[in-house]
Amino acid sequence: MSFSSIWFPILSIWLSLTFSPLSVLYLAIDRTEWTGVNLLFVSIIYQKRAIPIYVTILQKKGASNFLEQQEILAKVLPLFSNYKKVVLGDREFCSVGLAQWLREQAETYFCLRLKKNEYIEIEQNIWKQLKYLAPNSGVSFYFKGVKITKTKGFAQGEVVGKWSRKYRDKKSSED
């Protein structure tokens, strides 16, 4: 008997009792190191909380890769086949491979945070780095139907950005 053979049926019942079919559900993928253990997990966002629904231990230190991310998502996404899903991920999960794979999944959308050094094609053959699109902190921008990443290329998508203001006289150091 495995963890998923016990947990997944319980989770499926909770989902059916809590959400109506075709509801939009938000799933967050994240990784953390906790007392030397490298954990990759998927959580459902419910009542402004991230509730872990599946966890795997990575047998290495550092960031996860596309295959590890795909493997964990492939285990949990079928549980949400009656729902529209939005997968949320921070900068560790902004790979072209993951974005393309998520795009192929039924009723699955995604919002993956990009690093500020990524390029987008704002017009044909005109590429700009994200860090140059909002000149001042607090300024936001939105581009629809742009190509993302200059070197690997990703089909058209939407890009929303906002540079945060200083917090306690410290500027955000997001790369």
R_g over Cα of the chain: 18
Q: What is the pLDDT of residue 167?
A: 53
Check residue 43 and give its pLDDT: 97
The model's pTM: 0.84
User: For domain 1-113, which architecture applies?
Assistant: 2-Layer Sandwich (3.30)
How far is Cα 23 from Cα 51, in angstroms, rounded to an integer? 17
Q: Are 53 and 67 in contact (CB under 8 A)?
A: no
Q: DSSP letters of 73-105?
A: HHHHGGGGTTSEEEEEE-GGG--HHHHHHHHTS
pLDDT at 117: 82
How far apart (Å, rounded) are the C-alpha atoms in residues 135 and 94? 23
Would you kindly state where each structural domain of the chain is located, as residue ranges?
1-113, 116-175
d(CA 156, CA 91): 19
Q: Give the C-alpha separation, 166 to 133, whole Å.
A: 18
pLDDT score recorded for residue 144 = 84
Query: What is the structure's pLDDT at 8?
Result: 93
Burial (Cβ within 10 Å: 0-12, 13-18, ≥19) of residue 37: exposed
Please list the pLDDT of the chain residue by residue as tens digits (175 residues): 777 889 999 999 999 999 999 999 999 999 999 899 999 999 999 999 999 999 999 999 999 999 999 999 999 999 999 999 999 999 899 888 898 899 999 999 998 888 788 888 888 888 888 888 876 777 788 888 888 877 666 667 788 887 776 655 555 555 4
> According to the model, what pLDDT value does residue 101 have?
93
Residue-level pLDDT at 23? 96
